[in-house]
Amino acid sequence: MSSVPFRIAALVCALTAALGAPAEATAANYNFAPVTAEMQSFVQTYTLDGASLRVNKAGEVVYRRAFGGYTLATRVRIASASKWLSAVAIARLVEKGQMRWSDTVGQYFPNADADKRAITLEQLFSHTSGIAYEEDACLSSPLFTLATCANRILKQPLIGQPGKVFAYGGNSMQVAGRMAEIAAGKAWDDIFIDEVATPLGLTATDYSGASSAPGYVRTDNPTIDRSVRSTLEDYGKLVDMVLAQGCLRLRFDGACATGAQYLTPATLTVMARDRTVGTVSLYRPPNATGFGYGLGQWIDPESPRLVSSPGGTGFTPWVDRDRRIAGVLLVDDLNVRLYEDINDIRALINVVVADR
């Protein structure tokens, strides 16, 4: 797979040539044949066990297909795509008035060092807290609970002034997760089940990414930023909701159905505001140059209305409000070797559903 401009031009030509062929998928008559071919090539080129892809255009799922040895029900580790789910769980507590994004570490950890007490929940979930980004050994360790892990992290020295530095990592979100437990008076698993899994209808998503056991597997020390395992359809429900401005069911006239507003549009706007502005970048993934960061999600340099939360395994969810696309590409490998081709596939999807 070669350079992006050349490849996209070639793929557009392939799409043009295929317009007279039978349509691959949908009532909307989109021709996804080139996307299918590209996904098949993607799996073969990297000798993947499999992959799957789901595309929502303007509120309708127009493409859903598994490749290689995967089925639509295949459950995989999603790594840092966990951050978006975790941010949504906390956003629900904020909307219920159980927390505020301005809540401070000192409110929940009164014995924390003085230099950490003013760190806010917002900073913890946007990697701007000044907490060290190199992951503490307590993350996911069965020797710790979320409470004891958070306390251990808060004993580390800061690496920068809160609000003035950006350092992408999981430690700060571990502290935020414990704050949520204290605020809600329940374990993180119960917060997630009550605020995310049940209302969104997620049947195969939990924080036990290292497990192969069926069902929902609980853990006393979930890694808030990266330990989720999920399926194509489960995560698809999250990006569908974001694309629909927080609504779970739209009426025929496009308005949100009664009782179906899961998160308010205002909350989603707050979550998608770039917190890296005015900060010094101390660490970010090598393929995230130029990206902003909100709460649990990256903000694309192309547009503040294009947000995503790719994981280190290559699992890539995104929402593009300008193009009215929500997508999930499910794979379990290494993002550093796949991301250019994943970007090619996303660009091809844009061509397929353009101006429809």
Residue 34 inside a domain? The answer is no
User: 3-class SS at 102?
Assistant: coil
Tens digit of each residue's pLDDT (9 = 90 or more) over 166-180: 999 999 999 999 999
Cβ neighbours around 186 below 10 Å, total: 13
Instruction: For 298, list phi and psi in degrees, rounded to 5.
Output: -80, 150
Residue 3 has pLDDT above 80, yes or no: no
For residue 202, the enclosing domain spans 79-230+272-312
Q: What SS3 class is residue 328?
A: strand
C-alpha to C-alpha distance for 204 and 73, rounded to whole angstroms: 9
Which of residues 109 and 21 earns the better pLDDT score? Answer: 109
DSSP string spanning 172-198?
HHHHHHHHHHHHHTS-HHHHHIIIIIH
For the stretch 189-200, pLDDT in tens is 999 999 999 999
Per-residue tokens: 119: 């760190």
Q: Please give the DSSP secondary-structure letter assigned to residue 84.
A: H
Residue 128: give its domain's CATH number.
Answer: 3.40.710.10
What are 19-59's pLDDT values in tens digits? 333 333 444 589 999 999 999 999 999 999 999 999 999 99
- pLDDT tens digits, 270-288: 999 999 999 999 999 989 9
The whole-model pTM stands at 0.92
pLDDT at res. 356: 58
In a domain, 61, yes or no: no
Residue 219 lies in a domain: yes
Residue 254: pLDDT band (50, 70, 90) is confident
Q: Is the pLDDT of residue 263 over 70?
A: yes
Cα-based distances in Å from 345 to 38, 114, 285, 341: 7, 48, 21, 6
Instruction: Encode pLDDT of 290-319 as tens digits.
Output: 999 999 999 999 899 999 999 999 999 999
Burial of residue 212 (CB within 10 Å: 0-12, 13-18, 19+) is exposed
Residue 39 has which token pair? Answer: 């996904």
Q: Supply the pLDDT for residue 56.
A: 97
Q: What are the beta bridge partners of residue 210?
A: none
**Cβ(340)–Cβ(1) under 8 Å?**
yes
Token pair recorded at residue 72: 């639509």
- Asked if the structure places residue 348 within a domain, the reply is no
Flag whether 174 is in a domain: yes
Cα four-point dihedral sign 41, 46, 49, 52: negative
Task: Quote the pLDDT of residue 13.
Answer: 42
If pLDDT is split at 50, 70 and 90, which confidence band does 105 have? very high
Q: Which of 54, 74, 72 shows the shortest CA–CA distance to 64?
A: 54
Q: Report residue 95 as tokens.
A: 């909307």
Residue 296 maps to a domain: yes
Structural domains of the chain, count:
1
Q: What is the mean pLDDT of the chain?
A: 92
Q: Is 35 part of any domain?
A: no
Is residue 226 within a helix (H) or strand (E), and if so which, with residue range?
A: none
**In the block, residue with structure tokens 């598994």:** 66
What's the pLDDT score for residue 29?
Answer: 80
Confidence of residue 69 (pLDDT cuts 50, 70, 90): very high
Within a domain: 114: yes
Percent of the chain clearing pLDDT 90 (strictly above): 89
**Residue 12 — very low, low, confident or very high, per pLDDT cuts 50/70/90?**
very low
pLDDT of residue 2: 38
Whether the Cβ atoms of residue 38 and residue 11 lie closer than 8 Å to each other: yes
Q: How many residues does the chain have?
A: 356
